[in-house]
Amino acid sequence: MKNSDLIHRSLKSVWHPCTQMKQHESLPLIPFERGQGIWLHDFEGKRYLDAISSWWVNLFGHCNPRINSAISAQMEKLEHAILAGCTHEAVVELSERLSEITSLGHAFYGSDGASAIEIALKMSFHYWKNSGHPEKKNFISLENGYHGETLGALSVTDVAIFRDTYSPLLANSIRVKSPDSRLAEKGESPHDYALRAAKNLEALLETCHKTTAALILEPLVQCAAGMGMHHPVYLARARVLCDTYGIHLIADEIAVGFGRTGTLFACEQADILPDFLCLSKGITGGYLPLSVVLSQEQIFDAFYDDSLARAFLHSHSYTGNALACRAAIAVLDIFEEDDVIEKNQGKSALMSAKAAILSGHPKVTGFRNTGMIWAFEVEDPSPDFSRHFHLGALERGLLLRPIGNTVYFMPPYVITEAEIELLVETTLDIL
């Protein structure tokens, strides 16, 4: 097949996500035939380095043989079964292992990140209702935060391009100052700015905690805000404040979980345990849709009752899908057997050293790194910077999608030193 054939068919039949389809009159679709490691290949022999892990989901490379094998073996036993009133081995094993590594229990499964957020928001509200506090129905979220595009998730999202059109449909939520260190005053350290942002949260909670169910945040990195990074002390203070004022803490680790920030979960860096932990994206290594919400045991206990009205009657058709659960188990196996977190720490240091040349470029500002995420801003007066940079990257065999004037790298963990050098050198050439 030719690239042009598939592009034509796709434009005639597929409504592509996060896209103004008319732009594809001049902005080409990139057709992929296959993937291997960190590379995606088209139908005419060109390959692209997947520097964004295909929207932040791919951890261990495309067509990873160990994940392939795990899914294939599961297919021979059970592909899917209803989880309401039934169970199966893969979902039980995955739930047990997630509980062991997070110290949270009773995994509730969904299909994607947004559905995990919906589950956590509903569960928090319902917890307070079951506990005799139905007035606690509002949510606090961070300025510039992103939690998904279903209506509940969008209600706690503060990215205008996604939210504004649908604002008449959304529930009210309260925004609080973001701890993003880019917002610090001149000379103010990320640590001190995070504490100042936490004081803003405290002032808000003093006035509205009685009607607030939960604070929801993205620990350490606000990804859709242009990889806004903050100091872990904010998480520590947020946990204390949530306990003090009697509200839940929802940690949205959909993008930052599973090693992205340098620890298996970002909350570890503040030594805190959230009330709800939302996971997706990397949980299956980029293979199959799956999300999960893990919660503290007292959350589950508030629903455990003879009354059906006190039950959490939320469901998805493919909840706890056996193939997706088996892929997730394979991902956890790779983390354990390959010392991924330790190896990533060395790889992160190597990448940062190699990318130092980018931080010194005259057009680059705000170069930063957290774990296996790197980002910087490019000073460019063009309103089409993101599009031009994306096209320049494609021409040179890189898959990069800047967020506004923020360029970021979030590659699969299997990237090699040679591929790191290629990524940096090619980005420098685009600049």
Q: What is the dihedral of CA 403, 409, 410, 411, to 10 degrees?
A: 140
CA-closest candidate to residue 144, choices 253, 221, 247, 234: 221
Query: Residue 346 has what pLDDT?
Result: 97
Least trusted range by pLDDT, from 18-32, 187-201, 299-313: 18-32
Q: Are 276 and 248 in contact (CB under 8 A)?
A: yes
Q: How far is CA 124 from CA 120, 137, 140, in A?
A: 6, 8, 12
Neighbouring CB atoms inside 10 A of 308's CB total 7
What domains can you pick out in the chain, each with its CATH number?
32-63+339-430 (3.90.1150.10), 67-337 (3.40.640.10)
Quote the pLDDT of residue 77.
Answer: 98
For helices 233-245 and 190-208, the axis angle rounded to 10 degrees is: 10
Give CA–CA dist 92/97, Å, rounded.
Answer: 9
- Cβ atoms of 319 and 110 within 8 Å: the answer is yes
φ, ψ (nearest 5 deg) of residue 84: -75, 115
For residues 394 and 386, the answer to whether their CB atoms sit within 8 Å is no
Tell me the pLDDT tens digit for each residue of 25-78: 988 899 999 999 999 999 999 999 999 999 999 999 999 999 999 999 999 999
Instruction: Report the alpha-carbon distance of residue 348 to residue 278 in Å, rounded.
Output: 25
Confidence label for 172 from pLDDT (cuts 50, 70 and 90): confident
Query: From residue 410, how far is each of 59, 115, 233, 395 by CA, in Å?
Result: 10, 23, 24, 19
Give the span between the Cα atoms of 232 and 26, in whole angstroms: 43
pLDDT above 80 (res 381):
no
The CA distance from 313 to 294, in Å, is 16
Nearest one of 430, 381, 379 to 409, comparing CA atoms? 430
Tens digits of residue pLDDT in 69-95: 999 999 999 999 999 999 999 999 999
Chain centroid to CA 94: how far?
Answer: 19
Give the percent of the chain with pLDDT over 70.
100
**Residue among 167, 261, 274, 264 nearest 215 (CA):** 274
